[in-house]
Amino acid sequence: MKTALVTGGSRGIGKAIAQKLAETSNVAVGYSNSKEQAVEVVNSIQANGGNAIAVQIDVTDNDSVEKCFELIEKEFSSVEILVNNAGITKDNIFPRLKQDDWDSVIDTNLTGSFRASQRAIKGMMKNKWGRIVFISSVAGISGNMGQSNYAASKAGMIGLAKTISKELGSRNITSNVIAPGYIDTDMTSFLDDQQKEEIIGQLSIKRVGKPEDIANMVAFLGSDESEYITGQVFPVDGGLTT
Ligand code: NDP
């Protein structure tokens, strides 16, 4: 059985990804603050006969990343499937965006993905097999009002993923990006019903996305079946960006 790490696996999209990957892999459910929720995700996986552990990983902290990987290696094996899912928003229109909010969003979303990926590829290179899946956003493709920091971080993830794909493809390590549209989680819970209706109006598929819509794509990109696909960006957005 392969071993997967999902950063930000405690809630939302990461939770659904962890639960889906647990159908075929050992899963490390990464959390930063939400320990209780991560333990609940682990319990739900174990109740379905899967193997999972909760591990603290603050992707902004090198020591935390290192400790997390060491723990997973002790408990399961080296990480073979890494899902860079942890992410935050700190929205403001660009003229008013504070540098602290720029820095923290870049540090979490982009540099956090760099830290986890660089640590993960050590084992992947040794094993000559690896799958890295970046959870970016349609904002990283198209930009989004009030999200210059977030969109820049998510666009940066695309450049990082594509470069890793070129450097490590010969070692059987693939690196791909999923760009979710609007998915119903805590991150989008500030939207009221009218705003949701407006979003749905722009979509070909007339509903807001579910975390499971993303998890299904991650399962494929994390599997053997996707071995000839690398360096690609897959919008999973109900048709928003077509
Ligand atoms: P949530 O806000 O529901 O969850 C965010 C997750 O990220 C939590 O598990 C949280 O962990 C974790 N996290 C935050 N900061 C850190 C950190 N420093 N280190 C490690 N983990 C951290 O978000 P979603 O589930 O909605 O989003 C998941 C990913 O999908 C994000 O990258 C987001 O940008 C992306 N996305 C989401 C969309 C949406 O519509 N929801 C659309 C496009 C992309 P904890 O709670 O333990 O602190």
Residue of the CA atom closest to atom 44 of ligand 1: 137
Looking at residue 211, its pLDDT comes to 98
- The answer, yes or no, to whether any atom of ligand 1 lies below 6 A from the CB of 179, is no
Looking at residue 236, its pLDDT comes to 98
Q: Which amino acid is at 218?
A: V
Q: 45 phi and psi, to 5 degrees?
A: -70, -45
Q: Which listed residue (31, 150, 182, 228) is catalytic?
A: 150
Q: How many Cβ atoms from other residues are within 10 Å of residue 95's Cβ?
A: 6
Q: Which two tokens stand for residue 8?
A: 């930000």
Residue 170 CA to ligand 1 center (angstroms) comes to 31
- Please state, in angstroms and rounded to a whole number, the distance separating the CA atoms of residues 166 and 55: 30
The residues that bridge with 6 in the sheet, in sequence order, are: 29, 83
- The answer, yes or no, to whether any atom of ligand 1 lies below 6 A from the CB of 113, is no
**Best of 187, 199, 202, 237 for a ligand 1 pocket test (most atoms within 8 Å of beta carbon):** 187
- The answer, yes or no, to whether any atom of ligand 1 lies below 6 A from the CB of 147, is no
Residue 88 CA to ligand 1 center (angstroms) comes to 6
Residue 138 to residues 14, 135, 166, 182: CA-CA distances in angstroms?
A: 17, 10, 23, 9
Per-residue pLDDT tens digits for 102-124:
999 999 999 999 999 999 999 99
Per-residue pLDDT tens digits for 152-172:
999 999 999 999 999 999 999
- Please state, in angstroms and rounded to a whole number, the distance separating the CA atoms of residues 51 and 25: 7
Looking at residue 63, its pLDDT comes to 98
Q: Which two tokens stand for residue 94?
A: 């660009």
Q: Which two tokens stand for residue 132?
A: 């890295």
Looking at residue 1, its pLDDT comes to 95
Residue of the CA atom closest to atom 8 of ligand 1: 8
- The answer, yes or no, to whether any atom of ligand 1 lies below 6 A from the CB of 33, is yes
Q: Which two tokens stand for residue 202?
A: 């722009």
Residue of the CA atom closest to atom 39 of ligand 1: 183
Q: Domains in the chain, start-ordered, CATH in brackets?
A: 2-235 (3.40.50.720)
- The answer, yes or no, to whether any atom of ligand 1 lies below 6 A from the CB of 26, is no
Going by C-alpha positions, the residue among 26, 24, 1, 34 that lies closest to residue 9 is 34
pLDDT tens per residue across all 242 residues of the chain: 999 999 999 999 999 999 999 999 999 999 999 999 999 999 999 999 999 999 999 999 999 999 999 999 999 999 999 999 999 999 999 999 999 999 999 999 999 999 999 999 999 999 999 999 999 999 999 999 999 999 999 999 999 999 999 999 999 999 999 999 999 999 999 999 999 999 999 999 999 999 999 999 999 999 999 999 999 999 999 999 99
Residue of the CA atom closest to atom 32 of ligand 1: 87
Residue of the CA atom closest to atom 6 of ligand 1: 8
The reply to whether 228 belongs to the active site is no
Going by C-alpha positions, the residue among 188, 165, 179, 197 that lies closest to residue 242 is 179
Looking at residue 59, its pLDDT comes to 98
Looking at residue 70, its pLDDT comes to 98
HEC assignment per residue over the chain: CEEEEECCCCCHHHHHHHHHHCCCEEEEEEECCCHHHHHHHHHHHHHCCCCEEEEECCCCCHHHHHHHHHHHHHHCCCCCEEEECCCCCCCECHHHCCHHHHHHHHHHHHHHHHHHHHHHHHHHHHHCCEEEEEECCCHHHHCCCCEHHHHHHHHHHHHHHHHHHHHHHHHCEEEEEEEECCECCHHHCCCCHHHHHHHHHCCCCCCCECHHHHHHHHHHHCCHHHCCCCCCEEEECCCCCC
